[in-house]
Amino acid sequence: MLRTLLALSLLVVNSWAFAPSLAVGRTTFHAESTQVKASSQRSNTQLSMSATVDLKGKVAFIAGVADSTGYGWAIAKALADAGATIIVGTWPPVLKIFQRGLDKGQFDEDSILSDGSKMTIEKVYPLDAVFDSPEDVPEEIKTNKRYAGLAGYTISEVAKAVEADYGKIDIVVHSLANGPEVTKPLLETSRKGYLAASSASAFSAVSILQKFAPIMNEDGSFLSLTYIASEKVIPGYGGGMSSAKAQLESDTRTLAYEAGRKHKVRVNTISAGPLKSRAASAIGKEPGQKTFIEYAIDYSKANAPLAQDLYSDDVGNAGLFLCSPMARTITGVTLYVDNGLNCMGMALDSMAMADAN
């Protein structure tokens, strides 16, 4: 049970369905204009490279923002700090709550940029990324009260709406996932649950890029979020979610080639480490005991090469880099932002290591 709930709490790091990371601190990096020059005194040839994180005039669509505590928000904020225009896609069942929070200023404190101004979300689109087109929406969803009054929330419809509002855009971020049977071991996962995890967590990225790449400017960037369970065993991270993350990373490489050649768009993914979120903190919480995500964070501190806190801003800054011109030659990459935990092959805090120096 402990392993199952721990894995469930880890799953919440990157989507609206799994409320994203609680920002418990801030890093000091901010997007600023930087120039790097290199020269050779041994020839008449000089190499001069100017790398500037300036996204003014760029439009970024972030799919999967529903509050101010997640990786999607952190990436949006980093992009806004560099001057990008931010628009987001939000899961319809939580859309009204999110919009109400924006209107009431509930997220103002988490919106402060490096110059003291506040990030502005120019527009919020309803988006359910398990539906590609209106024909895919079943009757039970159309008549569901949580979708009442909403229309145009399929991926193709949102892409058309964004094009109508902004024309060509430059950045798309996929920050969403769902696994209805995540608490079940893979051996006990149903076909329906497995395919649902793949649909919401992996194919949604393929579909979003299919529909958005044609309305992206050349040299644009597509970014998603993944998890180490794609390649390492995380007991309890079930329901086909580990398979979905493996799909997402494999698709990142294939799409990097296809979208690169066809649309001149770069495709990358970030594999983030465990980080405290509101939803994760509520799972298995007992008076006087640590939550399961706190166990995961403690494990990371005890075993990662860098024994330090991981903040949502760290993922935001990594996302800014990958979406900026500074990463113009980087595509098809899974970038680990986890204090190096991914490279460890042995748990240093294991009882078996108790006598080791």
Q: How far is CA 356 from CA 82, 299, 341, 342, in A?
A: 47, 18, 20, 22
How many of the other CB atoms lie within 10 Å of CB of 309?
15
Q: How far apart are the first and last CA of the chain?
A: 32
- Kind of pairing, strands 85-90 and 59-63? parallel
DSSP structure class, residue 95: H
Catalytic residue among 237, 257, 311, 336: 237
Stated as kind and residue range, the H or E segment containing 244 is helix 241-263
Q: Is 227 a catalytic residue?
A: yes
Q: Which residue has the tokens 């040839």?
A: 45
From the list 291, 202, 289, the residue with the least C-alpha distance to 254 is 202
From the list 216, 205, 254, the residue with the least C-alpha distance to 64 is 205
Catalytic residue among 71, 153, 194, 227: 227
Residues sharing a CB contact under 8 Å with residue 330, sequence separation 6 or more, in sequence order = 266, 268, 322
User: What are the tokens at 26?
Assistant: 């801030």
CB 317, CB 356: distance < 8 Å: no
CB 273, CB 341: distance < 8 Å: yes
As a whole number of angstroms, the distance between CA 325 and CA 76 comes to: 16
As a whole number of angstroms, the distance between CA 271 and CA 293 comes to: 17
From the list 148, 109, 127, 156, the residue with the least C-alpha distance to 66 is 127
- Kind of pairing, strands 334-337 and 85-90? unpaired
CB 153, CB 61: distance < 8 Å: no
How many of the other CB atoms lie within 10 Å of CB of 316?
27
CB 224, CB 252: distance < 8 Å: yes
Q: Catalytic residue numbers?
A: 227, 237
